[in-house]
Chain A
Amino acid sequence: MVERRPWLDAFCHLLLILGVLVVSFPVYLTFIASTQTAEAVVQAPMSLLPGGHLLENYAQVLAHGTETQSSAPVGRMMLNSLVMALAIAIGKIAISLLSAFAIVYFRFPMRQLFFWMVFLTLMLPVEVRIMPTYKIVADLGLLDSYAGLTLPLIASATATFLFRQFFLTIPDELAEAARIDGAGPMRFFVDIILPLSRTNIAALFVILFIYGWNQYLWPLLVTTQENMYTTVIGIKRMMTSGDAATEWNLVMATAMLAMLPPVLVVIFMQRWFVKGLVETEK
């Protein structure tokens, strides 16, 4: 605190509270809509107090989906989202750890080539090469499978860079000591590199879990069967073009369920989240 300015402090608090309210309002509204009947939601203006159908709506979507549109149970979708998010997070971390280890601790022909090849992936968002990637996945027969959902998103330049940067800061003496003690490269990797990378892995995991859970375009294309939908795709399929036909209370209950896991991860793993976010962008 540099100086006392009670009025300025009050103004700051006021603005921050306003900011928090504006940021939270869409989600509050979503929650309210998810506790009401379909009829109550479409009456403009909708009530801003919670209705009495909370459990009913959530039980309905978790077990049976919506009544008129998609009848796929959201419980199954949540499972798909979870599998996808975990597979992408764990897969990315695993292959990036291995390749960063190879690039830092070995010198071998074509090392630079590999490094640049990985670098290239950083530059090509899925959206840009979507048509040919879809064709390859279709040709490999991976549509409507977890492998098709996750494999194309698993290569990651960012994670490889992060681990490479981190490995470069590990003192050389550790590797020398390990070699004198007769440890091979894999022993060194498992016993020394992995434990040292724990915080980096945790931070990256949080970011990648959110990234995987929130994927939209790729699962939209790759999944055609209802039992392979992810939650985010499920919401899209539940909406119709007309407002009256959409069962907004159920759509909003699903939206709440789609937001819950990643938001909880951010709130409860905030330290890792902030670290991961700030470091992956360096």
Chain B
Amino acid sequence: MEKRARFRSLWLPYALVAPQILITLVFFIWPATQALWQSLLIQDAFGTSVEFVGLANFAELLNDPYYLKSFRVTAVFSIAVAFFGISIALLLAVMADRVVKGSAFYKTMLIWPYAVAPAVAAVLWLFMFSPSIGIIAWSLKHWFGYEWNHLLRGDQALWLVVGAAVWKQISYNFLFFLAGLQAIPKSLIEAAAIDGAGPLRRFVGIILPLLSPTLFFLLVVNMVYAFFDTFAIIDASTQGGPIKATEILVFKVFNDGFRGLDLGGSAAQSVILMGIVIALTVIQFKFVEKKVHY
């Protein structure tokens, strides 16, 4: 789409885009190029010697059991976050769409966790589940005889970060599902009801298929969220431990680079992550375009 009416000026458009372009160049394009270049080098921790090694960093990564483990952890983590985040939000949105009284109240009460910082969410969950003082850890132990100690048990630590990540993400998914539900024409539902379809039948036969674009969109967004935005949750709660049980890819990039000072390896990980982001973004845009052209 193009504008018919335009303004003419030789310098003004450049002046207008200059701030944006300058910041993009200095803080985005240049660092990304650096990361690409760095991923082909091996440097010692003090930066005294640099050697060009081609794709050796990548080869090393793919043979590194910890990196492969981190891939597995990320896969489990993001699938769990997307699955629970989406299904709980869908359930609540369907309920909120049905009730008439109090729906504004429920909506407000369910969307505000979006505003809580991921790091703060992690601290809240850490506090509830702390093995020595956490009220939920205590209840699990005294009421159900279940020993909770995410400092020792990797599976529990993973559940803890999944819980915090899902808690924060539900409000986002809820809003999109609610908007999607409210866009479904009421006449369709009524027609089905007259034909004798019960609430469950209507949900499976009509509502769910019509919600599938929203569902797919949220799936991609939740994956991106679990991949990248959860860094703060991991760092503020488990720090990737115990024994790397919660070390997701984006945390490993940071940990290897800043704490382990393995610049080449960290940069190679960055490049792989960029590839994943670009793939996810392309999927998302392909889908959005399709939705627009309907």
Contact = CB atoms under 8 A, between A and B. Distances in A.
- The answer on A and B forming one complex is yes
A229 to B, nearest CB: 12
Interface string B22-64: 0111111111101100100000000000000000000000000
A118 B96 CA distance: 38
A182 to B, nearest CB: 12
A202 interface: no
A258 B109 contact: no
A106 B34 contact: no
Interface string B3-21: 1111111001110110111
B274 A123 contact: yes
B106 interface: yes
Chain B facing A: main interface SS: helix
B246 interface: no
Contacts, number: 302
B110 A23 contact: yes
A214 interface: yes
B243 interface: no
B236 A132 contact: no
B16 A255 contact: no
Given A12-B98, A15-B92, A131-B266, A258 B117 contact: yes
Interface stretch (B65-73, B77-85, B132-140): B132-140
A9 interface: yes
Contacts of A216: 117-119, 231-232, 235-236
Contact of A15 (B91, B118, B281): B91
Interface stretch (A61-69, A70-78, A263-271): A263-271
B99 A16 contact: yes
Interface string A130-144: 111101110000000
- The winner among A19, A48, A121 for most chain B CB atoms within 10 A is A19
Interface string A209-250: 010011011001100000000001001100100011000100
Given A118-B20, A151-B23, A151-B27, A131 B109 contact: no
A26 B128 contact: yes
A26 B190 CA distance: 39
Interface in A94-124: 94-96, 98-99, 101-108, 111, 114, 117-118, 120-124
Interface residues of B toward A: which range?
A: 35 or more
Given A26-B128, A118-B20, A179-B5, A136 B111 contact: no
A131 B267 contact: yes
Interface in B169-186: 170-172, 175-176, 179, 186
B7 A277 contact: no
B32 A132 contact: yes
A16 B193 CA distance: 24
A175 B98 CA distance: 45
B133 A42 contact: yes
Contacts of B131: 243
A189 B28 CA distance: 28
B111 A266 contact: yes
B12 to A, nearest CB: 6
Interface string B106-134: 10111111111111110111011011111
A136 B7 contact: no
Interface string B215-257: 0010001000000110110011000000000000010011001
19 contacts: A16-B99, A19-B88, A26-B124, A45-B142, A114-B17, A118-B24, A128-B273, A129-B28, A129-B35, A131-B35, A131-B263, A155-B23, A172-B5, A175-B5, A217-B231, A236-B236, A262-B116, A266-B114, A281-B176
4 nearest CB pairs, A to B = A132-B31, A214-B117, A216-B232, A132-B34
Interface of B: 1, 3-9, 12-14, 16-17, 19-21, 23-32, 34-35, 38, 88, 91-92, 95-96, 98-100, 102, 106, 108-121, 123-125, 127-128, 130-135, 138-139, 142, 167, 170-172, 175-176, 179, 186, 189-190, 193, 199, 217, 221, 228-229, 231-232, 235-236, 250, 253-254, 257-258, 263, 266-267, 270, 273-274, 277-278, 281, 288
Given A105-B3, A131-B31, A135-B31, 15 more contacts: A3-B193, A12-B99, A15-B92, A42-B133, A114-B17, A114-B20, A121-B24, A129-B274, A152-B27, A216-B236, A243-B131, A263-B112, A263-B116, A266-B112, A281-B221
Interface of A: 1-3, 5, 8-9, 12-13, 15-16, 19-20, 23-24, 26-27, 29-30, 33, 41-46, 48, 94-96, 98-99, 101-108, 111, 114, 117-118, 120-125, 127-133, 135-137, 151-152, 154-155, 160, 168, 172-173, 175-176, 179, 184-186, 188, 210, 213-214, 216-217, 220-221, 232, 235-236, 239, 243-244, 248, 251-252, 255, 258-259, 262-263, 265-267, 270, 273-274, 277-278, 281-282
